[in-house]
Structure 1
Amino acid sequence: MEPPNPLPEFVYKITPTAPPQPIPEAYPLSDLDQKDGFVHLSTASQIPTTADLFFASSTSFYLVKLRLSNFEPSSVKWDETPGTNGCPHLYGNFGGKDVVDCKEVVRPEGLTWSEALKGEAEWLV
């Protein structure tokens, strides 16, 4: 699948637990990322859908904000995923030098992730 045009400045890794501090040179890969052979990432606009699908029973998660231009274009594939315009998958890894910021996101009781993330619009660019 072709990458979006224009490319987003940032992509995000959603993690169920706080990232290690300091963030190591090679980020510890999740079991899913190891199994699939790439790091699952999301664009800002994909995070609410991804969170509603995969973190529906969670009340919080962490977002690791990565600068997309830090990666070789050939290492990021925009793979077709139902309901999206293509999800970024990093074939390789990232580390502390690629991380712009990290943030815990908490979902108040009774809200979906889509509703809870509306308050994060300025951070999710």
Structure 2
Amino acid sequence: MPAPSPLPTYLYKILPSAPPSPLPAVLPLSDLDRNDGYIHLSTSEQVPGTADKFFGTFDSLWLLKIKYDVVAGGVDGEGNKVGGEIRWEEVGRGCFGHLYGSSLGVGNVESVEKVDRSGSWVESLKLEY
């Protein structure tokens, strides 16, 4: 599936609990990411719907804000050039970015943000594209 046009500036990884602080070089994979063989990512427009669908019972979420051109350029969580890639793949309700052959961590995560829910996640999340 083709990448969105224009390409997003940021992608986001949704976490149901706080990541380690300080952020390590390589974050452990979630069970879902490990089983699927890639890291699930969302654009700013997709995060609220994904949060409502999969994290609707949570009062808080943590978002890893990832600069698209860094991970698309194959930089891993340690900041090394590894040749990982973003593949845009159709998943039932849209085309999502999946990170293959790389990791997330301090070397490619721009920031970590805790978001508290007030109402739905759609109402609570306003993210940079």
Query: Normalising by the residue count of structure 2, what TM-score does the alignment of the two structures yield?
Result: 0.85
Instruction: Name 2:117's counterpart in structure 1.
Output: 107
Root-mean-square deviation over aligned CA pairs: 1.4
The corresponding residue for 2:80 is none
- Note the alpha carbon deviations across 1:62-83, whole angstroms, 9 max, x for none: 0000011112466111110122
Task: Tell me how far apart the structure 2 counterparts of residues 103 and 72 of structure 1 sit (CA, whole Å).
Answer: 22
In 2, the alpha carbon distance for the partners of 1:59 and 1:27 equals 23
Report the 3-state secondary structure (helix = DSSP H, G, I; strand = E; otherwise coil) of the residue aligned with 1:93.
coil
* Higher share in helix: 1
Could you say which residue in structure 2 is the equivalent of 1:31? Answer: 31
For structure 1, the 5+ residue unaligned runs are none
Q: What SS does structure 2 have at the residue aligned with 1:95?
A: coil
CA distance in 2, matches of 1:94, 1:113: 24
Aligned-partner SS, 1:18:
coil
2: CA distance between counterparts of 1:116 and 1:70? 27
> Matched residues, percent identical?
41
2:91 matched residue in structure 1: 81
Deviation of residue 106 (structure 1)? 0.7
- Identify the residue that residue 68 of structure 1 maps to in structure 2: 68
Which residue number in structure 2 is paired with residue 48 of structure 1?
48
Count of residue pairs the alignment pairs up: 118
What residue number does 1:19 align with? 19
- Using the alignment, how far apart are the partners of 2:59 and 2:72 within structure 1? 34
Unpaired runs of at least 5, structure 2:
74-83
TM-score by length of 1: 0.88
Match of 1:116 in 2: 124
Q: 1:5, 1:115 → 2: CA distance?
A: 25
2:91 and 2:34 map into 1 onto residues whose CA distance is 19
Counterpart for residue 99 of structure 2:
90
1:88 partner letter: G
